[in-house]
A and B are shown apart, each in its own frame.
Chain A
């Protein structure tokens, strides 16, 4: 399945000023064409087709077992594709062994050499190329400076904390300035606070050095934070490729909508579909859902309307225009998260709708509380209609 055409980019969430994937004249740095990888009858990577451009921070996001790590290992050369081609910078990688590829990898386990100091670990790649000793020590020093480990060069890996090991692994993978850096769950072993801080450092380092990163992760927040584009993977296939904004606002399937962020889904049938609007009648919601973004569908076709919880308004009185996009129900659960509250509202049909609202004022008097009858409504731009 070729990657679906990205929908017209909404307001530019992209980090880079340029969006090479929207430029038909741009040449991708990495071309993955029809790549299939089978292990003993099990298809790990199923016909993947991707273009990745220079300077991108590209994420492969998916649950474990979706083939994202296998795809990374195919790029590194540890696995050979069963069929299909991988080109890096115009060179077909078929038959190029991993130690000759212009690619470096940062391993999930970090894979630091336990018998070497931090400096020796970081310098290992240069030593393989017989770079003069003084040159190695200068570049190792620079790299340790960049990852803020300048004082720890003489330590051994077992004397480092998890965060420090992560930086050593990063420095070691970066020292050869690879055309492409592959990161396999690079922050998976760090605790949450450190992970969030490190995400931004990773992006800064990537921008400073102007390299191309491909990161494998199962953490959607991480992918959203760092990526220029994300490929969502499921059972070996890329389901959707797009910027974080596109993926979140315009998921192309229920799978993507559910994988990235929280979503309310109403199942129903298309009543009317046009170029610039769709109406879905859903028995679950009890109202017609009007969306201001057209899809290719015929009336009567089964469809799902997906609405993000934060795009729904909640109030104790019905809105002025309650013909469309308005349901009513009772609050049966409230999750107070400090900055947000998530209300679980049970509709008359039994369906539960999640609504999150920012707690702008202090919640002492609780404007909305348990068992309150509430109205939920949303603008036509809030929903997306999906056919699968």
Chain B
């Protein structure tokens, strides 16, 4: 800038290092010529480019996240009716005694039902429990996997990473169906185990919680492995050597140094598994038994079988709230720790 404060909208000739090709063009042509107008437009674009760059993602989120969310929120407060669509409008004109009213009817009974009917409370708690256990199991598989990957020779790492991601290229639904073939009483797993003489009677795995755990661990493993691998991989390998050198046995050094430093990645992985798993519908529906109660499945039943859109929406809103709170708390914690590290 040429000495003047940056805020003053400079006349469109700004000499100095920021001179653009269009400014040169503009100086050589009249202000009202085609190039003059074009130059002014380009300058406006340059100045508001920053705003545009920031505005675009907000616009995107507003259109594709906020708007649908508001629609669901609105739905959750309406009443079920037998119609198409199957809910009553929130806002309506009411003609009464010759007067017209604009009425807003907020129906809270959906929410009240959610907390009164033990089915929903149980489904919520069960979802959280299954999701938490499955997240823990996924972590148990992912930690050694990510550790081995990050220590593999460099030329192998891309291949290993590929093998973790590859299943994503097949339909999720088909992969879960494939597990039915593996886990069912006359399936591959039982055939192998009986063939090896480990068991004599086929194990009942399909249609139990165990099958749901297997399904979740299998399906969400990449979400856990990738962030943990990323944290392990960028870690200086001499950190763990230094710990061992100072007298810490290797396994202890792994927990106190490697895992501790990779903690943000581990937490990110856990959230990436826990949150979608809590709302999971496909896996409990296909692999779980009739008594596997999960909120995602309950939501589906309300929506499609009972055609109770408002209640289903209320379930969705409560689920969202229940999952957002821990994330916000975690982020607060992270931010506070970050600023402590910065100050001190």
| A361 CB within 8 Å of chain B | no
- A99 and B248 contact, CB distance less than 8 A: yes
Q: What's the minimum C-beta distance from A59 to chain B, rounded to whole angstroms? A: 20
Q: A76-B245, A111-B236 are in contact. List 16 more A-B contacts (CB 8 A).
A: A98-B241, A98-B244, A99-B247, A99-B248, A105-B242, A107-B238, A107-B241, A108-B238, A109-B236, A114-B261, A124-B243, A129-B247, A159-B344, A172-B246, A173-B246, A176-B246
- In the complex, the number of residue pairs spanning A and B with C-beta atoms less than 8 Å apart equals 63
Q: What's the minimum C-beta distance from A344 to chain B, rounded to whole angstroms? A: 43
Known contacts: A111-B236, A156-B344. The answer to whether A98 contacts B257 by CB under 8 A is no
Nearest 8 pairs between A and B by C-beta?
A128-B247, A125-B246, A111-B242, A111-B238, A107-B238, A128-B248, A99-B244, A105-B245
Q: What's the minimum C-beta distance from A139 to chain B, rounded to whole angstroms? A: 14
Q: What's the minimum C-beta distance from A149 to chain B, rounded to whole angstroms? A: 15
Q: What's the minimum C-beta distance from A86 to chain B, rounded to whole angstroms? A: 16
Measured CB to CB, the residues of B under 8 A from A are 236, 238-239, 241-250, 257, 260-261, 341, 344
User: Once bound together, how far apart are the Cα atoms of A113 and B238, in whole Å?
Assistant: 10
- B241 and A78 contact, CB distance less than 8 A: yes
Measured CB to CB, the residues of A under 8 A from B are 76, 78, 97-100, 103-105, 107-109, 111, 113-115, 124-125, 128-129, 154-156, 158-159, 172-173, 176
The closest CB in chain A to the CB of B340 belongs to A156
Known contacts: A115-B260, A115-B261. The answer to whether A99 contacts B344 by CB under 8 A is no
A155: chain B residues within 8 A (beta carbon): 344
- B243 and A104 contact, CB distance less than 8 A: no
User: Once bound together, how far apart are the Cα atoms of A155 and B342, in whole Å?
Assistant: 10
Known contacts: A114-B261, A156-B341, A158-B341. The answer to whether A128 contacts B238 by CB under 8 A is no
Q: What's the minimum C-beta distance from B36 to chain A, rounded to whole angstroms? A: 52
- A111 and B239 contact, CB distance less than 8 A: yes
- A107 and B261 contact, CB distance less than 8 A: no
B344: chain A residues within 8 A (beta carbon): 154-156, 159
- B246 and A109 contact, CB distance less than 8 A: no
Cβ 8 A contact of B246, one of A97, A108, A124, A156:
A124
B244: chain A residues within 8 A (beta carbon): 97-99
User: Once bound together, how far apart are the Cα atoms of A120 and B255, in whole Å?
Assistant: 16
- B250 and A99 contact, CB distance less than 8 A: yes
A125: chain B residues within 8 A (beta carbon): 246-247
Known contacts: A114-B261, A115-B261. The answer to whether A107 contacts B247 by CB under 8 A is no
User: Once bound together, how far apart are the Cα atoms of A176 and B246, in whole Å?
Assistant: 8
B260: chain A residues within 8 A (beta carbon): 115
A172: chain B residues within 8 A (beta carbon): 242, 246
User: Once bound together, how far apart are the Cα atoms of A99 and B252, in whole Å?
Assistant: 11
User: Once bound together, how far apart are the Cα atoms of A176 and B248, in whole Å?
Assistant: 13
- B257 and A113 contact, CB distance less than 8 A: yes
Q: What's the minimum C-beta distance from A69 to chain B, rounded to whole angstroms? A: 11
Q: What's the minimum C-beta distance from B257 to chain A, rounded to whole angstroms? A: 6
Q: What's the minimum C-beta distance from A73 to chain B, rounded to whole angstroms? A: 9
The closest CB in chain B to the CB of A78 belongs to B241
- A113 and B243 contact, CB distance less than 8 A: yes
The closest CB in chain A to the CB of B248 belongs to A128
B238: chain A residues within 8 A (beta carbon): 107-109, 111
User: Once bound together, how far apart are the Cα atoms of A98 and B244, in whole Å?
Assistant: 6
- B246 and A128 contact, CB distance less than 8 A: yes
- A99 and B341 contact, CB distance less than 8 A: no
The closest CB in chain B to the CB of A114 belongs to B261
User: Once bound together, how far apart are the Cα atoms of A156 and B260, in whole Å?
Assistant: 15
**Interchain Cβ contacts under 8 Å between A and B, 16 examples:** A76-B245, A78-B241, A78-B245, A99-B249, A111-B241, A111-B242, A113-B242, A115-B260, A125-B246, A125-B247, A128-B246, A129-B247, A154-B344, A158-B341, A173-B245, A173-B246
B243: chain A residues within 8 A (beta carbon): 113, 124
User: Once bound together, how far apart are the Cα atoms of A54 and B33, in whole Å?
Assistant: 87
B248: chain A residues within 8 A (beta carbon): 99, 124, 128
User: Once bound together, how far apart are the Cα atoms of A4 and B141, in whole Å?
Assistant: 55
Q: What's the minimum C-beta distance from A12 to chain B, rounded to whole angstroms? A: 35
B236, B238, B245 interface centre (most CB from chain A within 10 Å): B245
A129: chain B residues within 8 A (beta carbon): 247
Q: What's the minimum C-beta distance from A353 to chain B, rounded to whole angstroms? A: 45
B261: chain A residues within 8 A (beta carbon): 113-115
- A104 and B245 contact, CB distance less than 8 A: yes
User: Once bound together, how far apart are the Cα atoms of A155 and B245, in whole Å?
Assistant: 23
- A99 and B236 contact, CB distance less than 8 A: no
B242: chain A residues within 8 A (beta carbon): 105, 107, 111, 113, 172
User: Once bound together, how far apart are the Cα atoms of A285 and B243, in whole Å?
Assistant: 57
B249: chain A residues within 8 A (beta carbon): 99
Q: What's the minimum C-beta distance from B26 to chain A, rounded to whole angstroms? A: 48
Known contacts: A113-B239, A155-B344. The answer to whether A99 contacts B245 by CB under 8 A is yes
User: Once bound together, how far apart are the Cα atoms of A107 and B249, in whole Å?
Assistant: 18
A103: chain B residues within 8 A (beta carbon): 245
User: Once bound together, how far apart are the Cα atoms of A349 and B244, in whole Å?
Assistant: 60
User: Once bound together, how far apart are the Cα atoms of A172 and B246, in whole Å?
Assistant: 8
Q: What's the minimum C-beta distance from B244 to chain A, rounded to whole angstroms? A: 5
User: Once bound together, how far apart are the Cα atoms of A175 and B261, in whole Å?
Assistant: 23
B341: chain A residues within 8 A (beta carbon): 156, 158
Q: What's the minimum C-beta distance from B232 to chain A, rounded to whole angstroms? A: 14
User: Once bound together, how far apart are the Cα atoms of A207 and B154, in whole Å?
Assistant: 42
Q: What's the minimum C-beta distance from B153 to chain A, rounded to whole angstroms? A: 10
A111: chain B residues within 8 A (beta carbon): 236, 238-239, 241-242
A97: chain B residues within 8 A (beta carbon): 244, 250
